[in-house]
Structure 1
Amino acid sequence: MSVYSKYADYVLLNLLKEDNQLAYTEIFERYSRILVNHAYKILGDQDEANDVVQEVLLSIWNKRHDLVITGSLSSYLYKATKNKILNHIAHEKVVSRYAESFSNFIESDYVFADSKLREKELEAIIEKEISQLPEKMREVFLLRKVEELSYDEIAQQLNITDKTAKQQVYNSLKILREKLKSMMNVFVW
């Protein structure tokens, strides 16, 4: 048992602001499991719940120097998790509406002659961007998103932790999202 486990949350937060990684690890250990359970109850998907909590906890590390928490750390983390879940659900609804709209468009026989060409171009761009990811990140990303392996299966196969696998997928999605964001406007009718 670490000496950090005896520290109150506010002490851990002060240490976190001083770049103390062990304080961050203690916060992660203290809250990750309960936050994942909370997220799972809402999302109903273990991997999505893990992803949401991973993003929330990673954000407190990334924002540690500017982090201002007026109430308790647990309240802050619950609220941040809830907000991240709501954003996730909203994003899923937008994607679903877009897919439905696109499907309706195609079903109503307004198919452009070049839609297949655009689809192929977009696939090529996405494949190119994936190929430019760092090797390990690309490997984890493809195992997760193409092979559809769980984080545990990826961790076992590559001899890494499931946290590392999750982080690699999160980082690759962030990179791809940024690179593809500007290109997507070209493919919208």
Structure 2
Amino acid sequence: MPENVISVCDEKVYEQLYRDHAEKICYYLYYKYGDMEKAQDIVQDSFAKLWTNCSKIIFGAAKSFLYKIANNASINDYKHQKTVLKYKSTEQKNYTNESPEFQMEEKEFMHRLNSAIAGLKDGQREVFLLNRIEKKTYKEIAEMLNISVKAVEKRMHLALVILRKKIGNV
């Protein structure tokens, strides 16, 4: 069956698109902007827009439509998201066996690390978090961001250089 005959308006096709892409788009947005709740909201809105425009979207373009809608919506909220990522605190333990000095050093390190990551350029932060946290390969990241693998490699290299300068070799 040719791709242009598959209708996005078919509920089974739409549900399959949701199963295939919703979680990936959500994590893409989370690692790009740092707010899981907002990412989930944007994913829901993106799929609602896909359903509203299903007669205009061919099946083969549905994935890129979803990513584009989600990315554009999150850009509108970018400044707030950057602030959230920069100042997001880590969970505090109720008790610990570590010395107060160690706890203070750990807290300072986490603050420096979060600040350093938040200070990266958008593309560098995206690639760094997708690779190091989400464990995506450079090829997968390149496909998600619609860039070349070389561009992913360059962004990762620059991110690592900057992080090493800001927080040292750990």
For normalisation by structure 2, the TM-score amounts to 0.40
Which structure: larger Rg? Answer: 1
